[in-house]
Amino acid sequence: MMRRLLLLYLCVYAASAQGDLDYDDEETETTNVATENGTATVDARGHRPLTKGRETYNPARYIPPPVPSGGRYTGRPTSAPAGRPQAQEKVEQPESGGCTHADEKMGVLCPTGCELKTALLKQERNVRTSINELKPQVEELSRSSNVIYNSVNSMSNSLRERQRLITDNSRVVSQYTDQVEEHHAYIKETVDTVFPSNIRVLQGVLDKIRQKIQKLEKAIQTQKEDCKEPCKTKCPIPVVSGKECEDIFRRGGRDSQMYLIQPDASTPPYKVFCDQTTQNGGWLVIQNRLDGSVDFGRRWDEYRRGFGNIAFDSGKGHCEVPGEYWLGNDRISQLTKAGPTEVLIEMQDWTGAKVHAQYRQFTVQSETSNYVLSLDGYSGNAGNGLLEGATQLFGVNRTMTIHNGMMFSTYDRDNDNWIPGDPSKQCSREDGGGWWYNRCHSANPNGRYYFGGSYTRQMAKHGTDDGMVWMNWKGSWYSLKAISMKIRPFFASS
């Protein structure tokens, strides 16, 4: 019976120990819980449970300080320096008569020993005389030996120095000989092979230059023939002008064509194309794509100044057909910051279908902010990609395609949200043009021009949807036939 009770007690104790072990392991994953307004909030580790169903485990937070200075021991005693024998005290010998020996260790001599001491002192005087006579001779011999030693040592040093010089001279001569041989081989190879080859290349270059000169002479001659008659302006500028196209419309310029505007008296006037028919006119075209004749994969400075062809003459005597161009970020910023501005984006696919997106508020900040885009008030049937992103995407993937609030980016000035600073992650480099890229786009009006509409990854330069894309209308892999952006001062219609 006692044996069974003992076995049962051991089982209960083992189970209790195992439970304590599991509890300690679980406590290593505890979380920090803060209380705000009486409600428990969870930090980044909030996926872990807040309660464990057991008593609270409070680990010891107090850490004892280090032991203070001072204690039971003082500094160690310094030991006596070793190596010097201690002098023994002189033991006084008892006076026994006689005389004291010259050596203290001999002590006191007997009375008869004094005679021996006197004899030794006399002999010592004789020996000292002989030593004094020999001492100058020994000193002279020592000086002679030193002179001879120094002479021999000087001769040895001179001999070693001469041997070193001979060795250095031999090495220099050997190196110089090797260099002369290398130079000779290089000169011989140059004279035998390089010079004739260079002469042939220069002859070819000379022949090409001669051909170019002949072409230039022909072109000059042709130009002279063309200039015999007075030149005529193909695109005469209309007389009416203004601060922008709306001002021109109100001054009587009702035809859609190229005009000269001057938004500010401190800046020189420049040419723009005014659309005076769409939605009662007054639209200034800031971007136009229609045939792929202009490359929009440009640098930052070109997008800042503007590029492309404003308009063409179709035979009517004035430039009534807009060309492909980008007005320039500096000019767009100046126009949109002058007052409330709306933008109209018109697009056409390869079947002839047309849609538009219009924003009542459109502003481009200055270059100091990298031309940040701000817009609001969407209307139209193309899809609100600039404000809401691509409708085909969801969550953060859709958020990445919103263009509102983005800075302008070109392939040489990366300002997008796709890993800033990483040259391998640049939207403008992959998507073909300058734009207000996020990461990367739902709309890409300045992308590469593809004829026919649909295109594939194999056709794209970097395998991305780099065409003139408006995803909320035609999806990612469809490049539009035409797209234009027009602005005018916003005003309430009567």
Residue 52 forms part of a structural domain: no
176 and 224, same domain (yes or no): yes
| Domain containing residue 261 | 245-489
- If one counts the domains in the chain, the total is 2
The pLDDT, as a whole number, for residue 3 is 58
Integer angstrom CA distances of residue 471 from 54, 427, 435: 56, 16, 15
The pLDDT, as a whole number, for residue 151 is 87
The model's pTM = 0.54
- Quick one: average pLDDT of 329-336? 95
Q: Which of 169, 204, 231 is the last residue of a domain?
A: 231
Residue 19 forms part of a structural domain: no
pLDDT exceeds cutoff 70 at 21 = no
321 and 253, same domain (yes or no): yes
Which tens digits make up the pLDDT trace of 227-275? Answer: 776 555 567 788 888 999 999 999 999 999 999 999 998 889 999 999 9
pLDDT exceeds cutoff 90 at 472 = yes
Residue 220 forms part of a structural domain: yes
pLDDT exceeds cutoff 70 at 306 = yes
218 and 258, same domain (yes or no): no
- pLDDT grade, residue 101 (50/70/90)? low
The pLDDT, as a whole number, for residue 461 is 87
The pLDDT, as a whole number, for residue 60 is 38
314 and 177, same domain (yes or no): no
212 and 278, same domain (yes or no): no
313 and 180, same domain (yes or no): no
Distance, in Å, from the CA atom of 490 to the CA atom of 194, rounded to the nearest integer, reads 71
Residue 50 forms part of a structural domain: no
pLDDT exceeds cutoff 50 at 146 = yes
Residue 463 forms part of a structural domain: yes
- Quick one: average pLDDT of 370-383? 94
Which tens digits make up the pLDDT trace of 194-211? Answer: 888 888 888 889 999 999
**Which residues lie closer than 8 Å to 104 by C-beta, 6 or more apart?**
90
The pLDDT, as a whole number, for residue 181 is 86
The pLDDT, as a whole number, for residue 143 is 87
- pLDDT grade, residue 422 (50/70/90)? confident
163 and 258, same domain (yes or no): no
Residue 250 forms part of a structural domain: yes
- pLDDT grade, residue 99 (50/70/90)? low
Within 188-290, strands assigned E span 257-261, 270-275, 283-289
Residue 352: left if φ>0, alpha if ψ -120 to 50, beta else—which one? left
Residue 54 forms part of a structural domain: no
- Quick one: average pLDDT of 378-405? 91
Q: Which of 202, 231, 260 is the last residue of a domain?
A: 231
Amino acid occupying residue 125: R
Distance, in Å, from the CA atom of 414 to the CA atom of 470, rounded to the nearest integer, reads 22
The more confidently predicted of residues 439 and 37 is 439
The pLDDT, as a whole number, for residue 349 is 94
The pLDDT, as a whole number, for residue 462 is 85
Q: What angle do CA 2, 4, 10 make, to 5 degrees?
A: 105
Task: Tell which residue, 437, 439, 404, 438, has the closest CA to residue 447.
Answer: 437
* CATH number of the domain enclosing 450: 3.90.215.10
Residue 337 forms part of a structural domain: yes
297 and 423, same domain (yes or no): yes
pLDDT exceeds cutoff 80 at 11 = no
202 and 257, same domain (yes or no): no
Distance, in Å, from the CA atom of 489 to the CA atom of 389, rounded to the nearest integer, reads 26
Q: Which of 231, 259, 278 is the last residue of a domain?
A: 231
Contact between 31 and 48 under an 8 Å Cβ cutoff? The reply is yes
pLDDT exceeds cutoff 90 at 407 = yes
Helices and strands per DSSP (H, E), number in the chain: 10, 15
**Which residues lie closer than 8 Å to 46 by C-beta, 6 or more apart?**
31
The pLDDT, as a whole number, for residue 114 is 67
270 and 190, same domain (yes or no): no
372 and 451, same domain (yes or no): yes
Is the bond into 114 cis (omega within 30 degrees of 0)? no
Q: What angle do CA 217, 219, 225 make, to 5 degrees?
A: 105
307 and 203, same domain (yes or no): no
